[in-house]
């Protein structure tokens, strides 16, 4: 290969114009990958130039953001994480790969496995929430779904875990912002999901936009070479995020595009997305001896290795008809199942599921019949005409049982006009129950869609207050890309279902949940704050020297002209207290579950032992249901302070009324390791607490000891 052909493999462009314009560059070997081309006819035409007309015949790698569905749209990843079911993530990614590969796409920029503990950050919707273990499990499942049993399968697409690394900790929840994560926290919290994805065989990685402690990820040799390749043995290739190489100029980390190319390649980046600094400046930098040609050779090897593994050299072209693949019946059914398992029942005063005695339902709210909005963020290729909304599903599936009165009250989530609320109130007055569908439009979450406040937008709060004032029970269903501060709406509602953005089949899934054909089983994958001022609030925090007792004096209980007292000397807010609105792992069911006879295989273990934990789970209610059983551990004393709890295992258990089943968790002691005061990953001997519980703030504590 000539130097120019090598650098061409490192160049990714976004599809544009006509085939002939791009074909000139492809024929010269100046393009290695194209993103945002979804027409299989055009894909084949571009590929034909690369394979049949360029000197070397190296096929192109066609890429696209396929985040939670290509045509058939699944719940947003944060919603899928609420299922605590890796099978949902794997099946969704597999179907996404089947549909996307039919259009010629063989590479997706997913999964996003950034740990995110600030719901103001719009991209929280794209990830799995706040917990490293849950994110690791769901991320690995997604990688397996995209890549299938073999990358060479024509229906497989290369996964790209992103954003490497720390992007989810953007200061203030403001997208693209700086992060300040020390190495120990980076290794204990933010790197584990990426390491798990590497061990699962992820083909590519993407650098993140943020700088951490002053070093942008695209120019960070420590994470790209020392950790990713040196420690984890990754042999795929690394791509920049969109123009993140040249954005290091704005960071103030490089002076110009030439220096951006220099620092990116020397840090370990293999392919540049759309900003052209590699093509424009690497030949000059090599002549000057500032970049070694051996670094270019290694980058190209990494890229070609993935192209070979994808089978592109043997099968570069795709079938040009897709009618039998997009929105297949099996795909829609899987999307519905994902939406059912992603929904979280936050409150229920016995109103759900709706009983036979309910004759008339008033359907209100701007999200009741919003086919585009329920698809959620990062949907480039989903067609809203295939969306099945709650209103349509209720009418179709249950219209023979109940009379449906539809008065949205508001036109869209940000609608501040209250003119339509009176009609919604009139509908509520005529009904037995009100179903209020509220939340966020899709555009309000995702990249560059950060919010400083998390309340319901527009006049949605007034709508719920008005229909609740009729005295009719209100079932509030929230569709959103993040946790919202809905404490007041919860108080006014007889029941609350949180569905995030549930995708194409969200309507039938919610209708079946509301009317009892399905039973909710989702759990919160991220802590729900009472108010924005609590953020960051997450379950796996460290204790202060004065931890909250939850019996502190709150602001309304302080006497007027009280003396300047400390009110308990603990770490909490006078106005919000200590606890969130809903903790991590929380979610109700239509039935109830009892945890009994928790037992540990041993009270003292060595570092190479396996701790077996057993618990009897009984369905004590009237409905068949699924419980997500969660295992938490606390390292009581360490060389550095440790989180108050860490999720280590979970499983879904389906039980009939009265049925009891024994859940067994096997936990290798080596999984209690952390990066200690000497920056060594090790299991430190000492006392540990353990909980088997329904959420992160529940359950009785048990104990065991790890011996030296």
Alpha helices in 270-380 (DSSP H): 277-287, 293-309, 329-342
Q: What letter does residue 591 receive in the DSSP assignment?
A: S
Chain-centroid distance of CA 80 in Å reads: 7
The pLDDT score that the predictor gives to residue 322 is 81
Cβ neighbours of 272 (radius 10 Å): 30
Q: Torsion angle, CA of 397/125/218/15, rounded to 10 degrees?
A: 30
Determine the Cα angle at 195 with ends 190 and 198, to 5°.
140
CB 434 within 8 A of CB 407: no
Alpha carbon distances (Å) from 81 to 90, 187, 539: 11, 22, 16
Given the DSSP bridges, would you call strands 403-406 and 360-364 parallel, antiparallel or unpaired? parallel
* Domains 64-304 and 593-706 fall in the same CATH topology: no
The pLDDT score that the predictor gives to residue 562 is 87
Cβ neighbours of 168 (radius 10 Å): 27
| Across 456-478, average pLDDT | 98
What class is the 337-514 domain?
Answer: alpha beta
Among 437, 341, 407, which Cα is nearest to 652's?
Answer: 341
In the chain, what is the greatest distance between 2 CA atoms, to the nearest angstrom? 85
Alpha carbon distances (Å) from 488 to 300, 320, 425, 468: 56, 52, 19, 12
The pLDDT score that the predictor gives to residue 569 is 87
| pLDDT tens track for 173-185 | 999 999 999 999 9
Q: In the structure, what pLDDT confidence band is assigned to residue 277 with cuts at 50, 70 and 90?
A: very high
| Pairwise CA distance, residues 630 & 646, whole Å | 10
Alpha carbon distances (Å) from 706 to 439, 645, 655, 668: 47, 17, 34, 11
Q: Torsion angle, CA of 282/284/289/293, rounded to 10 degrees?
A: 40
Six-digit token pair at 133?
A: 């273990």
| Across 325-352, average pLDDT | 98
Q: What percent of the chain has pLDDT over 70?
A: 100
| pLDDT tens track for 402-442 | 999 999 999 999 999 999 999 999 999 999 999 999 999 99
Six-digit token pair at 412?
A: 């869209």
- The arrangement of strands across the sheet holding 646-655 comes to 604-605, 702-706, 686-693, 625-635, 646-655
241 is a catalytic site residue: yes
User: Mean pLDDT over all residues of the chain?
Assistant: 97
Six-digit token pair at 203?
A: 């083909």
| Across 461-467, average pLDDT | 98
Across 257-266, 568-577, 642-651, least confident range: 568-577
Across 152-166, 448-462, 541-555, least confident range: 541-555
Q: In the structure, what pLDDT confidence band is assigned to residue 568 with cuts at 50, 70 and 90?
A: confident
The answer to whether residue 517 scores a pLDDT higher than 80 is yes
Q: Is 622 helix (H, G, I), strand (E, B) or coil?
A: coil
The pLDDT score that the predictor gives to residue 651 is 98
The pLDDT score that the predictor gives to residue 511 is 98
Q: Is the dihedral of CA 145, 151, 153, 158 positive or negative?
A: positive
Q: What percent of the chain has pLDDT over 90?
A: 97
Among 228, 172, 227, 192, which Cα is nearest to 113's?
Answer: 192
The pLDDT score that the predictor gives to residue 185 is 98
The answer to whether residue 594 scores a pLDDT higher than 80 is yes
| pLDDT tens track for 572-586 | 999 999 999 999 999
| Pairwise CA distance, residues 658 & 623, whole Å | 9
CATH superfamily, region 64-304:
Glycoside hydrolase, family 3, N-terminal domain (3.20.20.300)
The answer to whether residue 566 scores a pLDDT higher than 80 is no
| Across 447-463, average pLDDT | 98
Q: In the structure, what pLDDT confidence band is assigned to residue 126 with cuts at 50, 70 and 90?
A: very high
CATH superfamily, region 593-706:
Immunoglobulins (2.60.40.10)
The pLDDT score that the predictor gives to residue 565 is 78
The C-alpha R_g of the chain, in whole angstroms, comes to: 26
The pLDDT score that the predictor gives to residue 332 is 98
Given the DSSP bridges, would you call strands 11-14 and 272-273 parallel, antiparallel or unpaired? parallel
The pLDDT score that the predictor gives to residue 357 is 87
Q: Torsion angle, CA of 138/140/145/147, rounded to 10 degrees?
A: 160
| Across 580-605, average pLDDT | 98
The pLDDT score that the predictor gives to residue 193 is 98
Among 47, 5, 59, which Cα is nearest to 28's?
Answer: 5
| Across 463-469, average pLDDT | 98
Q: What is the pTM of this model?
A: 0.98
Q: Is 150 helix (H, G, I), strand (E, B) or coil?
A: coil
The pLDDT score that the predictor gives to residue 567 is 76
The pLDDT score that the predictor gives to residue 563 is 85
Name the percent of the chain in helix, strand, coil, to the closest 5: 30, 20, 50
Q: Catalytic residue among 131, 175, 241, 512, which? A: 241
Question: What residue ranges do the domains of the chain occupy?
Answer: 64-304, 337-514, 593-706
| Pairwise CA distance, residues 224 & 473, whole Å | 55
Alpha carbon distances (Å) from 299 to 1, 194, 203, 280, 285: 13, 20, 14, 17, 15
String of DSSP letters for 212-234 = ETTEEGGG-HIIIIIIIIIIT--
Alpha carbon distances (Å) from 222 to 161, 184, 200, 266: 18, 14, 22, 11
In sequence order, what are the beta bridge partners of 5?
none
CB 84 within 8 A of CB 628: yes
Alpha helices in 493-619 (DSSP H): 506-514
Alpha carbon distances (Å) from 152 to 353, 584, 646, 682: 46, 39, 38, 38
Q: What letter does residue 53 receive in the DSSP assignment?
A: I
Within 8 A by CB and 6+ apart from 498, the residues are 82, 343, 344, 346, 477, 478, 480, 522, 524
Six-digit token pair at 474?
A: 């209100």
């Amino acid at each position: 290969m000539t130097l120019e052909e090598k650098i061409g493999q490192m160049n990714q462009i976004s599809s544009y114009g006509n085939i002939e314009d791009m074909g000139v560059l492809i024929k010269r070997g100046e393009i290695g990958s194209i993103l945002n081309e979804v027409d299989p006819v055009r894909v084949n035409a571009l590929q034909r130039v690369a394979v049949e007309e360029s000197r070397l015949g190296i096929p192109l790698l066609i890429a696209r953001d396929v985040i939670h569905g290509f045509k058939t749209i699944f719940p947003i990843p944060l919603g899928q994480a609420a299922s605590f079911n890796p099978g949902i993530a794997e099946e969704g990614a597999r179907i996404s790969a089947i549909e996307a590969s039919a259009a010629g796409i063989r590479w997706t920029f997913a999964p996003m496995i950034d740990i995110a503990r600030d719901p103001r950050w719009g991209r929280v919707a794209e990830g799995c929430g706040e917990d490293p273990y849950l994110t690791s499990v769901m991320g690995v499942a997604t990688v397996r779904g995209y890549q299938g049993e073999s990358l060479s399968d024509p229906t497989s697409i290369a996964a790209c875990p992103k954003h490497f690394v720390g992007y989810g900790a953007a200061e203030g929840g403001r997208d693209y912002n700086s992060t300040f994560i020390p190495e120990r926290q980076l290794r204990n919290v933010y790197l584990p999901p990426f390491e798990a994805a590497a061990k699962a065989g992820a083909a590519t990685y993407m650098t993140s936009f943020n700088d951490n402690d002053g070093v942008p990820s695209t120019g960070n040799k420590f994470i790209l070479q020392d950790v990713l390749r040196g420690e984890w043995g990754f042999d795929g290739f690394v791509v920049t995020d969109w123009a993140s190489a040249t954005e290091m100029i704005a960071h103030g980390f490089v002076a110009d595009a030439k220096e951006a190319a220099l620092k990116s390649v020397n840090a370990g980046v293999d392919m540049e997305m759309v900003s052209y600094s590699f093509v424009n400046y690497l030949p000059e930098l090599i002549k000057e001896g500032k970049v070694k040609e051996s670094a270019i050779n290694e980058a190209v090897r990494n890229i070609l290795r993935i192209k070979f593994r994808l089978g592109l050299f043997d099968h570069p072209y795709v079938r040009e008809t897709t009618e039998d693949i997009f929105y297949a019946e099996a795909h829609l059914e899987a999307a519905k199942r994902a939406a059912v398992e992603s929904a979280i029942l936050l409150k229920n005063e016995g109103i759900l599921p709706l009983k036979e005695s309910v004759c008339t339902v008033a359907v209100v709210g701007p999200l009741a019949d919003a086919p585009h909005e329920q698809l959620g963020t990062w949907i480039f290729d989903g067609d809203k005409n295939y969306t099945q909304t709650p209103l349509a599903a209720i009418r179709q599936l249950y219209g023979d049982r109940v009379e449906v009165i539809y008065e949205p009250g508001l036109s869209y989530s940000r609608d501040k006009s209250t003119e339509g609320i009176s009609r919604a109130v009139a509908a509520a007055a005529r009904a037995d129950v009100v179903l209020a569908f509220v939340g966020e439009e899709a555009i309000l979450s995702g990249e560059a869609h950060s919010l400083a406040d998390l309340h319901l937008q527009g006049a949605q709060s007034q709508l719920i207050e008005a229909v609740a004032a009729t005295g009719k029970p209100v079932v509030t269903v929230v569709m959103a890309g993040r946790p919202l501060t809905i404490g007041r709406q919860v108080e006014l509602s007889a029941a609350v279902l949180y569905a995030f953005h549930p995708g194409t089949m969200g309507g039938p899934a919610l209708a079946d949940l509301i009317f009892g054909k399905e039973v909710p089983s989702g759990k919160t994958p991220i802590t729900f704050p009472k108010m924005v001022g609590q953020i960051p609030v997450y379950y796996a925090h460290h204790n202060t020297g004065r931890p909250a007792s939850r019996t502190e004096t709150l602001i309304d209980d302080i006497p007027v002209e009280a003396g300047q007292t400390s009110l308990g000397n603990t770490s909490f807010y006078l106005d919000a207290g200590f606890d969130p609105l809903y903790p991590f792992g929380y979610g109700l069911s239509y039935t109830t579950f009892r945890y009994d006879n928790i037992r540990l295989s041993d009270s003292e273990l060595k570092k190479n032992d396996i701790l077996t934990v057993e618990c009897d789970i009984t369905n004590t209610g009237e409905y068949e249901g699924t419980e997500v059983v969660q295992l938490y551990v606390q390292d009581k004393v360490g060389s550095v302070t440790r989180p108050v709890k860490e999720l280590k295992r979970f499983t879904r258990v389906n039980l009939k009324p009265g049925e009891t089943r024994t859940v067994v968790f096997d936990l290798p002691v080596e999984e209690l390791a952390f990066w200690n005061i000497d920056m060594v990953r090790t299991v430190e001997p000492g006392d540990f607490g353990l909980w088997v519980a329904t959420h992160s703030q529940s359950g009785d504590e048990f104990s065991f000891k790890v011996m030296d």
